[in-house]
Amino acid sequence: MDEPIAIDVMGAPGIVRKDGVWILDAACKRLIHYTPEAFYTAQCEKALHQARPSAHGPGAGERVHVTLIVSHSCNLRCRYCCVSDIHPRRFMDPAVASAVPDYVGHKFPLGPVTVSFFGGEPTLAADVIEQSCEAFKAMSRRTGRSVTFSLATNGVFSDKVVGLLARYRFSVLLSLDGPPVVHNLQRPVTSGKGSYDSVVRTLHKLRAIGLTVSLSATITRTSVNYWPHLVDLAVAHNVRNVQFNPVSPSPWSDRKGPVAWDRPSPEVYANAAIAAFITGRRRGVIVSNPVFSRLFRPSRYYCDLIAANSALCVDCDGTLLACSDAQADNHPFRVASTLGYWDTERGVFRQSNSYRSPPVDELNTCQDCFARYHCAGGCRARALQATPDGNPDPFVCRVVRIMLPRYLDLMASEVAPRVE
């Protein structure tokens, strides 16, 4: 076997060899080479930092993450949406929004705070967003703690909302599924008209005032082959991050759609994702998805909320949740995810429960997987939508197994010296 070649991997020293698969030791930020036939061996597993994953979520640290679901209403009628026909129109009570900073200060007294607004379409509750921002800013002035704001939105909103986002210097995650032929088909407004032009106008306005914007695309069988368009659009508007996520199945939803809104096969999705990643690297755009998001953050838990870290989610009725995906009343994760409630009589939050997801080590289907600390079994709430028994989603498992070795090989080929 060839002698190791010392290289630099994302600022950390690494080891590579030629003619095989590159393995990432995430704890040491090191690439190690194995031949294809040795890839699924115990020796390979040992190299994958199996003894050193974090006992916390991947984002554990000083920062406190707060998610406010300020609206269950939406001004789009996305074809694949699994929640829009399930619950009534709801908006967060301003009293609830104003009380969150004090609760956060009591529960998590230290560290900077990031407040994320979610929906439904959160900008339909712009007044609640503004009131919440003011309350958190007041907390910041009292305590000296840094507070930043972010928003996940469909991008169909007025110039008044643009001004609100500018005033509080929001980071914005903007949903855009592809070119007009795809986006308008998948994400029409309530009248049935396409929303693409409105979203692109919003993108232009947000970038013109200097806000940080990322694009988010939901991938279906219809849209899977249109990823390069989003990379092109990102480059044109100086956007540096594009996220791709497969559409979530919803067997518990009343909404049924054609096969066009189903997920592509794992092989098709993985191939398209790798192609998009390569295109993005060439054009200076970070193309991200759950496979890549934890490569240098090995963890026994998929996210900080279900790992009971410094994270909090508040639904629009004041319910304290362990997961923002469980906002629908009949979501299979709703009951287990409910941690507390808003006491309307006393005007305070009361925690009545606790939740910590089983670590990936306790999931039978993950025991022999070389990538288990990279994905930590995937999202618990979304897995329940795909597999009622609570096991990890087979689609996600297959995608991870296909993509991870190929991604690491690509990463190593970019930083390794040529070996003849």
Give the SS3 label for residue 330. Answer: coil
Q: Which two tokens stand for residue 133?
A: 């921002």
The model's pLDDT over 147-184, given as tens digits with 9 standing for 90+, comes to 999 999 999 999 999 999 999 999 999 999 999 999 99
Q: Which CATH architecture has domain 66-420?
A: Alpha-Beta Barrel (3.20)
Residues contacting residue 141 through CB under 8 Å, at least 6 positions apart = none
More confident residue, 144 or 4: 144
Per-residue model confidence (pLDDT) at position 164: 98
**In whole angstroms, what is the distance from residue 375 CA to residue 221 CA?**
23
Do residues 57 and 32 touch, judged by C-beta distance below 8 A? no
Distance between CA atoms of residues 99 and 318, nearest Å: 10
Q: What is the dihedral of CA 43, 48, 51, 55, to 10 degrees?
A: -160
Cβ within 8 Å of residue 6, ≥6 positions away: 13, 14, 15
Query: Which secondary structure element, helix H or strand E, spans residue 125, and what is its range?
Result: none
Angle between helices 126-143 and 94-107 (to 10 degrees): 30
147-153 and 171-175 as β-strands: parallel, antiparallel, unpaired?
A: parallel
Per residue in 209-221, pLDDT tens? 999 999 999 999 9
Question: Cis omega (within 30 of 0) on the bond before 11?
Answer: no
- Predicted TM-score (pTM) of the model is 0.85
Higher pLDDT among residues 53 and 3, named by residue: 53
β strands within 84-237, DSSP E: 113-118, 147-153, 171-175, 213-219
- pLDDT tens-place string over residues 303-353: 776 655 678 899 999 999 988 888 877 788 888 889 999 999 999 999 888
What DSSP assignment string belongs to 22-83?
Answer: EEEETTTTEEEEE-GGGTTSHHHHHHTTTT--BSS-TT-SS-EEEEEE-BS--SB--TT-SS
- The model's pLDDT over 59-88, given as tens digits with 9 standing for 90+, comes to 656 789 999 999 999 999 998 887 655 546
Which DSSP symbol is given to 417? P
Sheet containing 348-351, strands listed edge to edge, beginning at the edge strand earlier in sequence: 286-288, 241-246, 213-219, 171-175, 147-153, 113-118, 64-69, 311-314, 320-321, 338-343, 348-351
Least confident of 5-19, 340-354, 403-417: 5-19
